[in-house]
């Protein structure tokens, strides 16, 4: 109560270029002003007065108990009324050091953490609890508070802090009250050198991929953010690709007996064995995926989808499933479609699937968006320790508040709707990690350089997701073809072409 009384809310602080969400909550800064126009601080302009005396007493105790290793010099106080929140974010890497602590006073609330691979963890922050974020949670996970007036919490008595999960016990609704958070940070004076360079504004300025404006730039982008990635993730990727999609199977089984079919971009070959009465051969740019096809006794070879070494007019059908969207310019996507048409004999048909920008269509969500409402397990590395009348919740991996990194090609948050047509989609590699030194040498597009003590690495794949009607419009530029069918199938736009 005394700490809350040290904050004078009679005169609200004027926040330049405040975000819309900020205008609906009250904010005070001490030590340094956090600037919401650039998500950073002005190191040369400290605020007069320093911290309230009680904050210094509190921080001295945190240092003594080992919750932090250095005393913070920046404090942001946020006051939230019921129904207010803060968007998911990571604190700007270059602005603050690793450790960030946030004291919750006045009312408990649920904070949502999310990993780039889509894993989500809801954490209850009780009254008088201290959240300590460092390491991965500080630099890689986003955290935010969903604006709402009720939170889903555990109903079991005595349950106070930790992840909110249906696995723990019954769930119930908790009405929110007024909450005030004291977030303490140490202003950084040197560039950040964390283990997450692809999301670090200190490290990615010269390495983040830009949208290509030439064929050579597009080829370079695809090499690094498509071809090299699939070589790295081939085994794990194959383990997640077992079941053929029903409408692709329907297309193949509708072909005449003995038809010659080319699967261009065949991956692990899951469609090559669909029809025993078809003569199917596949090709893929990834040697490791082609090797997996060979281990299954399937016919496949390494080839570029822009230049397939098969005679013109020799195939009764072609399929291209989730391939064209990996080409980085409209010209290269059109060239890949032209190559499919070249392989077809007159009367032959091609089936093409690409990822859709629209992940909801005809009031149905794609499987890509569907998530369990209950959080999947407890976040690895979370420890709960007693702290005075409340508790200390130490999250490692950790989170922070960054609106910060906006790569030229945005990194997509998995299991969410697409915000951009051209983006990088994370792949969270499991079952095969590299030592940190090896990862750094490879120059792969990692979101997380992994070693034996850290979570598995996250690779980024380039995608151009197609808007409704875009794939058909591109196909209309092809000569001697007719669009026989177009449809939406679980987050993909699909067309069937016939060569005239």
DSSP-assigned beta bridge partners for residue 293: none
Length in residues, the chain: 500
Domain segments of the chain as ranges: 2-194+374-400
CA 425 vs CA 13, 411, 420: distances in Å? 39, 6, 11
CATH number of 2-194+374-400: 2.60.120.1520
From 286, 233, 155, select the one nearest 459 (Cα to Cα).
233
In angstroms, rounded to a whole number, what is the distance separating the alpha carbons of residues 86 and 346? Answer: 58
CA 263 vs CA 270, 273, 280, 283, 333: distances in Å? 10, 11, 7, 6, 17
In angstroms, rounded to a whole number, what is the distance separating the alpha carbons of residues 241 and 244? Answer: 8
Q: φ, ψ for residue 489 (rounded to 5)?
A: -140, 105
CB 91 within 8 A of CB 21: no
Positive or negative torsion for Cα 197, 198, 201, 207: positive
What is the pTM assigned to this prediction? 0.61
DSSP-assigned beta bridge partners for residue 481: 499
Residue 419 Rama label (left phi>0; alpha psi -120 to 50; beta): alpha
- Geometric angle at alpha carbon 150, from 145 and 154, rounded to 5°: 90
For the chain, 500 residues long, give each residue's pLDDT as a single digit of tens: 788 888 888 765 544 434 444 556 789 999 999 988 778 898 999 999 999 999 999 999 999 999 999 999 999 999 999 999 988 889 999 999 999 999 999 999 999 998 877 788 889 899 999 999 999 999 988 899 989 999 888 876 554 556 777 666 678 888 999 999 999 999 999 999 998 876 788 876 545 577 887 888 899 999 999 999 999 999 999 999 989 999 999 999 999 999 999 999 999 999 998 988 999 999 999 999 999 999 999 999 999 999 999 999 999 999 999 999 999 999 999 999 999 999 999 999 999 999 999 988 776 667 666 543 333 333 333 332 323 334 444 444 333 222 233 337 888 877 778 888 999 998 888 764 443 334 333 444 554 433 334 556 788 899 999 999 999 999 999 999 999 999 999 899 999 999 99
CA 118 from chain centre, in angstroms, equals 6
pLDDT score for 418: 87
In angstroms, rounded to a whole number, what is the distance separating the alpha carbons of residues 441 and 464? Answer: 28
Residue written as token pair 């490692």: 396
In angstroms, rounded to a whole number, what is the distance separating the alpha carbons of residues 353 and 248? Answer: 9
User: Mapped to the 3 state alphabet, what secondary structure does the chain carry?
Assistant: CHHHHCCCCCCCCCCCCCCCCHHHCEEEEECCCEECCCCEECCCCCCCCCCCHHHHHHHHHHHHHCCCCCCCCEEEEEEECCCCCEEEEEECCCCEEEEEEEEEECCCEEEEEECCCCCEEEEEECCCEEEEECCHHHHCEEEEECCCCEEEEECCCCCCCEECCCCCCCEEEEECCCEEEEEEEEECCCCCCCCCHHHCCCCCCCCCCCCCCCHHHHHHHHHHHHHHHHHHHHHHHHHCCCCCCHHHHHHHHCCCCCCEEEEECCCCCCCCCCCCCCEEEEEECCHHHHHHHHHCCCCEEECECCECCCCCCCEEEEEEECCHHHCCCHHHHHHHHHHHHHHEEEEEEEEEEEEECCCEECCEECCCCCCCCCCCCCCCCEEEEEECCEEEEEECCCEEECECCCCCCCECCCCCCCCCCEEEEEEECCCCCCCHHHHHHHCCCECCCCCCCCCCCEEEEEEECECCCHHHHHHCCCCCEEEEEEEECCCEEEEEEEEC
In angstroms, rounded to a whole number, what is the distance separating the alpha carbons of residues 498 and 500? Answer: 6
pLDDT score for 166: 65
Q: Please give the structure tokens belonging to residue 30.
A: 């001490």
CA 93 from chain centre, in angstroms, equals 18
């Amino acid at each position: 109560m005394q700490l809350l009384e040290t904050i004078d809310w009679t005169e609200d602080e004027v926040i330049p270029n405040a975000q819309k969400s900020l205008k609906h909550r009250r904010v005070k800064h001490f030590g340094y002003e956090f600037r919401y126009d650039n998500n950073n601080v002005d190191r040369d302009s400290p605020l007069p007065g320093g911290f309230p005396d009680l904050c210094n007493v509190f921080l001295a105790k945190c240092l003594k108990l080992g919750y932090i290793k250095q005393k913070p010099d920046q404090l942001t106080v946020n006051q939230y009324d019921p129904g207010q929140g803060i968007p998911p974010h990571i604190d700007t890497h270059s602005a603050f050091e690793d450790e960030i602590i946030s004291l919750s006073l006045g009312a408990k609330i649920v904070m949502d953490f999310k990993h780039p691979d889509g894993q989500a963890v809801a954490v209850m922050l009780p009254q008088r609890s201290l959240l300590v974020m460092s390491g991965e949670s500080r630099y890689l996970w986003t955290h935010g508070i969903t604006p709402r007036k009720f939170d889903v919490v555990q109903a079991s008595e005595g349950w106070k802090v930790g992840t909110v999960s249906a696995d723990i016990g019954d769930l119930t609704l908790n009405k929110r009250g007024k909450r005030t958070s004291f977030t303490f940070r140490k202003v950084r004076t040197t560039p950040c050198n964390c283990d997450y360079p692809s999301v670090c504004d200190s490290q990615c300025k010269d390495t983040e991929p830009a949208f290509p404006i030439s064929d050579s730039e597009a080829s370079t982008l695809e090499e690094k953010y498509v071809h090299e990635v699939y070589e790295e993730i081939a085994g794990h990727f194959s383990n997640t690709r077992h079941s053929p999609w029903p409408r692709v199977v329907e297309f193949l089984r509708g072909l005449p007996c003995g038809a010659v079919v080319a699967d261009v971009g065949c991956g692990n070959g899951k469609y090559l064995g669909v029809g025993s009465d078809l003569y199917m051969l596949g090709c893929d740019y990834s040697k490791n995926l082609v090797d997996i096809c060979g281990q299954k006794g399937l016919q496949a070879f390494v080839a570029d989808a822009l230049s397939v070494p098969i005679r013109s007019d020799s195939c009764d059908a072609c399929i291209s499933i989730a391939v064209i969207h990996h080409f980085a310019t409209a010209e290269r996507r059109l060239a890949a479609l032209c190559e499919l048409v070249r392989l077809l004999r007159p009367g032959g048909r091609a089936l093409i699937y690409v990822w859709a920008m629209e992940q909801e269509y005809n009031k149905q969500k794609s499987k890509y968006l569907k998530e369990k409402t209950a959080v999947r397990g407890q976040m690895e590395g979370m420890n709960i320790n007693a702290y005075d009348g409340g508790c200390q919740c130490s999250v490692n991996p950790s989170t922070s508040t960054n609106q910060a990194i906006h790569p030229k090609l945005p990194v997509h948050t998995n299991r969410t709707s697409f915000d951009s047509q051209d983006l990088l989609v994370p792949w969270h590699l499991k079952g095969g990690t590299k030592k940190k030194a090896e990862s750094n040498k490879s120059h792969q597009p990692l979101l997380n350089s992994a070693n034996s003590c850290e979570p598995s690495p996250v690779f980024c794949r380039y995608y151009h997701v197609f808007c409704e009607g875009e794939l058909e419009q591109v196909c209309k530029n092809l000569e001697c073809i007719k669009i026989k069918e177009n449809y939406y199938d679980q987050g993909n736009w699909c067309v069937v072409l016939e060569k005239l």
